[in-house]
Chain A
Amino acid sequence: MISSKRAQIEVTFNWVYVLIAGAVILLFFAGIVVKQKAASEDNLSRMAMNIMDKIFAGARAAEKTKDFVDISGLADYTFYFDCDNEVSTYGLKGYSNPKEDEVHALFAPLELQGTRMILWSLPYKLPYKAMDFLFITTDRTKYFFVGQDEFVEEFLNATQDNTDKRKSISAEAVISLEDITPGKTFQIRIVDVEGSIQNKAQLPSSFLEKLKGYGDNKVTAVSFTGTNQANFFQKEGDHWKQLNSNPIQIVSLGGERDAAKYAAVFAGNDKVYECNMKKAFKRLALVNEVYGGGNLANDISKPGGKLGEIIAHYVEYYQAHPELQVTSSCQSYLDEVAKSMQTHQQKTLACTSLPEKCFEVMDSADKLKKANINLTEGGDCIPLY
């Protein structure tokens, strides 16, 4: 009888023991699964961003070419891009390990989703190349151009491949907002080349009807005015909301493939645009130093860098061949270049600290460009660039 009772206790104890041990083992494995899931997601985000970083570097190097990167494996993920205090940040939304870039200019919508990422690099010249701008978009972001001018034609020619639609940026020219059909896109960007979009302007009802299902932040616009300025807008309910308080100057020398203007088309908003442009101006000041020396902005009497060496070369050359000095005008052309270079560096430095001064860089860059043309065409001298 005693033995049976003892056996009963032992059996119960064994079951309790087995249950506790089983629960502990189960919890242990559940913990491993949870930790592993978090670690693999973290790893995915880190790996994806490292690969993106490499792809961006390659795309920047392949100037003026468009790269189409298959991201169908990440089609359900949202990429985000931001720029603050001259630091670009990009990553996968909801995941850690974003990448930061303090040097390169990346112009992209604030969020991106799609199966193909499109990367396009254009050199930003003022008047010589300061850096490469990288434009980032996807196949599910559509650009609608409202109005007609040379820029629209140029953009569409540059981005449409009639032989292979997969190698095109999704873009279309329309007459008005009513003609827009978004299709199966993640977001739309309206590029108004006539400056017709105004702050708080009501959106046409037929257009609003087609935008059902799009969040306000998925419908954005950039509007170019006649004075080469840009305003950024976002849909807010049934009207446009202007994002920038003052018009943003497009600082460029114009012409084909105007990188600063293209950048405005691809930039998510005014903040991203200005933040990346600041990086470009900072780099321009450094490139100016290579051309004109570190002290050029303060002292024109002793240009350094490439210009200083060219001037020194001609001084030496004319000392050895004084008879040529009468017929050649290289020195006077070089003086003109030195003056333009000094003004250009002063304006660039002013622009890096006071963005409202940046429009002055266009004038100084134009003068430097003309002075450089005079060097080669007028004087048959060694050009600055």
Chain B
Amino acid sequence: MVLTSKKAQMHMTETIGVLFIFFILVAFGLIFYYKYTGQAIKEEHRQMVADRAVKTALEVFTLPELACTRGDAELEDYCVDMIKVRHLNETFNIHLKDYYFKLFGYAKIKVAELYPNTGNEYTLYDKKRPTNETFEYEASYFVIALKDEITDMERTPYSFGYIEVGVYATSLED
């Protein structure tokens, strides 16, 4: 009787041991899966933000509202018309909700002059995410020519600067 009971007790301990190890393995599996999924989501999110940044930059470079023109000829590549730039912010603000937000989303577009004058900066569009959201900002910078036919008629209308195109994306970091 005592012998049987002891055998049953051992059997029971063995079963509990097996179950314990089983659940430990399951828990490890779940933790690994959770971490992997989290990492994959973050990676996908990073890719999406990068894609959106590229798309917004492409959009900005083809904007007729910004580009330098030469009459009926093709637009000048990588050139921004500074006379338009000085008035663009107004148009963007007036038509933010009904048009330009659909084009750029949560983003920022800034034009800055580097040479011969520095410090001339124009923020054309800046739509941040709602304040209750934590967000990150991913910006790209492109060197461009700035054409201003008004400022100094004696000199070339071209100067040198950069355009900053950035996107505001929801932050996934803790």
Q: Which one of A61, A128, A282, A304 contacts B69 once the chains associate, using CB atoms below 8 Å?
A: A128
For B81, list chain A residues within 8 Å (CB).
Answer: 306
Interface residue A299 (Cβ < 8 Å from any Cβ of B): no
For B72, list chain A residues within 8 Å (CB).
Answer: 125, 127, 369
**Cβ B64 vs Cβ A128 within 8 A:** yes
With A54-B55, A290-B91, A373-B71 in contact, do A382 and B65 touch (Cβ < 8 Å)? no
**Cβ B55 vs Cβ A57 within 8 A:** yes
With A63-B62, A294-B91, A306-B81 in contact, do A313 and B150 touch (Cβ < 8 Å)? yes
For A294, list chain B residues within 8 Å (CB).
Answer: 90-91, 94
* A 102-139 to B, binary, CB cutoff 8 A, 1 in contact else 0: 11000000000000000000010101111110000000
The minimal Cβ–Cβ distance linking B36 to chain A, given in whole angstroms, is 17
Closest to B100 in A: A286
Interface residue A191 (Cβ < 8 Å from any Cβ of B): no
**Cβ A282 vs Cβ B99 within 8 A:** yes
The minimal Cβ–Cβ distance linking A373 to chain B, given in whole angstroms, is 7
**Cβ B59 vs Cβ A57 within 8 A:** yes
Q: Which one of B83, B87, B99 contacts A286 once the chains associate, using CB atoms below 8 Å?
A: B99
**Cβ A287 vs Cβ B149 within 8 A:** no
CA distance A306 to B80 in the complex (A): 13
For B71, list chain A residues within 8 Å (CB).
Answer: 372-373, 376, 383, 385
The minimal Cβ–Cβ distance linking B33 to chain A, given in whole angstroms, is 14
**Cβ A305 vs Cβ B64 within 8 A:** no
* A 271-298 to B, binary, CB cutoff 8 A, 1 in contact else 0: 0000000000011001101110110000
For B64, list chain A residues within 8 Å (CB).
Answer: 123, 128-131, 283, 287
Q: Name the interface residues of B92-110: CB closer than 8 Å to any CB of A.
A: 94-95, 99, 102-103
Closest to A317 in B: B153
**Cβ B83 vs Cβ A310 within 8 A:** yes
CA distance A289 to B83 in the complex (A): 13
**Cβ A103 vs Cβ B90 within 8 A:** no
With A129-B69, A309-B86, A369-B72 in contact, do A57 and B58 touch (Cβ < 8 Å)? yes
**Cβ A304 vs Cβ B87 within 8 A:** yes
For A283, list chain B residues within 8 Å (CB).
Answer: 64, 99
CA distance A123 to B86 in the complex (A): 24
**Cβ A309 vs Cβ B150 within 8 A:** yes
For B149, list chain A residues within 8 Å (CB).
Answer: 382
For A103, list chain B residues within 8 Å (CB).
Answer: 99, 102-103
Number of B positions contacting A (CB below 8 A) = 30
Q: Name the interface residues of B5-33: CB closer than 8 Å to any CB of A.
A: none
* A 241-263 to B, binary, CB cutoff 8 A, 1 in contact else 0: 00000000000000000000000
Most buried by B among A291, A372, A385: A385
**Cβ A290 vs Cβ B88 within 8 A:** yes
For A287, list chain B residues within 8 Å (CB).
Answer: 64-65
Interface residue B75 (Cβ < 8 Å from any Cβ of A): yes
CA distance A319 to B84 in the complex (A): 24
Q: Name the interface residues of A134-163: CB closer than 8 Å to any CB of B.
A: none
For A306, list chain B residues within 8 Å (CB).
Answer: 81, 83-84, 87
For B75, list chain A residues within 8 Å (CB).
Answer: 63, 123, 129
**Cβ B84 vs Cβ A290 within 8 A:** yes
For B90, list chain A residues within 8 Å (CB).
Answer: 294, 304
Most buried by A among B75, B95, B150: B150
With A129-B75, A385-B69, A385-B71 in contact, do A61 and B62 touch (Cβ < 8 Å)? yes
Closest to B61 in A: A61
**Cβ A54 vs Cβ B99 within 8 A:** no
Q: Which one of A58, A128, A290, A385 contacts B58 once the chains associate, using CB atoms below 8 Å?
A: A58
CA distance A289 to B86 in the complex (A): 13
Closest to B55 in A: A57
CA distance A125 to B67 in the complex (A): 13
Interface residue A189 (Cβ < 8 Å from any Cβ of B): no
Q: Taking A61-B59, A304-B87, A373-B71 as given, write out 6 further A-B residue pairs in contact, using a Cβ cutoff of 8 Å, ordered by the A residue number.
A: A50-B51, A123-B64, A128-B69, A289-B95, A305-B87, A310-B150
Q: Which residues of B contact A (CB under 8 A)?
A: 51, 54-55, 58-59, 61-62, 64-65, 67, 69, 71-72, 74-75, 81, 83-84, 86-88, 90-91, 94-95, 99, 102-103, 149-150
Chosen A-B contacts, 13 in total, with CB atoms closer than 8 Å, are A54-B54, A57-B55, A57-B59, A63-B75, A103-B99, A123-B74, A125-B72, A131-B64, A290-B65, A294-B91, A309-B86, A373-B71, A382-B150
The 10 A-B residue pairs with the shortest CB-CB distance, nearest first, are A129-B64, A61-B58, A385-B69, A305-B87, A306-B83, A382-B149, A57-B55, A290-B65, A313-B150, A289-B91
